[in-house]
């Protein structure tokens, strides 16, 4: 595994596939503002489009409802390096979610529409991609079999957001946390695992077991390295746990096999406008940073940058291009990547 210092970026044309839903979100912000918009993989796609060059291509792979296909494609039509061919409505199934925020980071979620799962044959047209950015928001959307298919037949890095397998639906469409009990069958097919503390808490239950009250609670910060080592021992190349206003913690092994821990502080912005889609944007930045520099610290820095850009506004025009984002990263951290 290479973890360079980010001084020699890769400039060859690249292809990135984004797997996940584009839900129709009904959002009530912590300030009482109410609006409807599309989200999730839409943000990931737009953020990657801004970072990548005109000769690169981003391919969202998603099932949507028939009535949503054209509006979604119109939103992305102005992004010249986005291939819209795998945004498909033949199943006429897509996510629809009500999001009500108590504050910037706490929200209640109710889901009333359900995307058809992304199956192995859905990704066959993009098996030549350099990276696969998987941003499911519910446990059924990007199945384990699809990741296994990407691993067996694809050649790109697989970044997986742990939001999907740690969220399920109860009767009435209430979105609830669930334990990722079959985690170890997924890990060999993931290169970069990204999640927050709550999702990590739903993913860590070391044998023989412990306090039931602690299972599924936000993971204790002191236990993150132990959880990360477990994942790395099972084939994951890097684990990144986001820490809200503190930034993120990234773990990987160096050339000698020793565990490396890097705390990458948050990039501050003047005002937080809307945090919907920050995690999806973070995933985009992380995938790009790794693809560009082959460096997990750079990946986390670009993840923080895209998350900060997303929080600074409510539209898709908030994302800076590669030059602007790199200036933001250098201003925040002094350099790109591990020093």
| Banded pLDDT at 244 (limits 50, 70, 90) | confident
Q: Is the bond leading into 194 cis (omega within 30 degrees of zero)?
A: no
Mean pLDDT of 32-55: 94
Name which residue leads in pLDDT, 276 or 258: 258
Q: How many angstroms from the chain centroid is the CA of residue 68?
A: 22
Residue 8, pLDDT above cutoff 50 = no
Residue 280, pLDDT above cutoff 80 = yes
Contact 163, 139 (CB under 8 A): no
Contact 93, 118 (CB under 8 A): no
Residue 3, pLDDT above cutoff 60 = no
Q: CB neighbours (10 Å) of residue 92? A: 13
Residue 318, pLDDT above cutoff 90 = yes
pLDDT of 28 reads: 86
Residue 95, pLDDT above cutoff 80 = yes
Reduced to 3 states, what is the DSSP secondary structure of residue 322?
helix
Residue 7, pLDDT above cutoff 50 = no
Residue 336, pLDDT above cutoff 80 = yes
The predicted model scores a pTM of 0.93
Calculate the average pLDDT of the chain: 93
| Banded pLDDT at 101 (limits 50, 70, 90) | confident
| Banded pLDDT at 6 (limits 50, 70, 90) | very low
Mean pLDDT of 153-176: 96
Name which residue leads in pLDDT, 182 or 244: 182
How far is residue 261's CA from residue 243's CA, in Å, rounded to a whole number?
Answer: 14
């Amino acid at each position: 595994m290479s973890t360079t210092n980010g001084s020699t970026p890769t400039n060859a044309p690249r292809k990135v596939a984004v797997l996940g839903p584009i839900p129709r979100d009904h959002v009530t912000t912590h300030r009482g503002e109410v609006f409807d918009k599309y989200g999730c993989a839409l943000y990931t796609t737009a953020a990657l489009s801004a970072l990548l060059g005109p000769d690169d291509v981003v391919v969202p792979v998603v099932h949507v409802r028939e009535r949503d296909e054209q509006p979604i494609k119109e939103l992305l039509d102005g992004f010249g390096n986005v291939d819209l061919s795998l945004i498909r409505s033949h199943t006429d199934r897509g996510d629809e979610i009500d999001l009500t925020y108590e504050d910037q980071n706490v929200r209640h979620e109710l889901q009333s529409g359900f995307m058809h799962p992304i199956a192995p044959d859905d990704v066959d047209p993009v098996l030549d991609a350099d990276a696969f950015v998987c941003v499911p928001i519910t446990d059924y959307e990007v199945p384990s079999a699809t990741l296994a298919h990407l691993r067996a037949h694809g050649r790109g890095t697989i970044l997986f957001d742990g939001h999907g397998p740690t969220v399920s639906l109860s009767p009435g469409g209430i979105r609830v946390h669930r334990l990722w009990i079959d985690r170890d069958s997924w890990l060999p097919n993931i290169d970069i695992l990204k999640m927050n503390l709550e999702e990590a808490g739903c993913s860590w239950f070391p044998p023989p077991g412990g306090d039931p009250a602690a299972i599924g609670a936000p993971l204790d910060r002191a236990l993150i390295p132990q959880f990360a080592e477990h994942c790395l021992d099972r084939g994951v190349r890097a684990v990144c746990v986001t820490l809200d206003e503190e930034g993120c913690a990234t773990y990987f092994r160096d050339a000698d096999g020793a565990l490396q821990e890097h705390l990458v502080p948050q990039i501050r912005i003047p005002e937080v406008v809307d945090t919907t889609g920050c995690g999806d944007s973070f995933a985009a930045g992380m995938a790009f940073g790794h693809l560009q520099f082959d460096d997990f610290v750079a990946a986390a820095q670009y993840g923080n940058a895209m998350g900060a850009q997303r929080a600074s506004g409510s539209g898709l025009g908030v994302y800076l291009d590669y030059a602007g984002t790199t200036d933001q990263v250098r201003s925040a951290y002094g350099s790109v990547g591990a020093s």
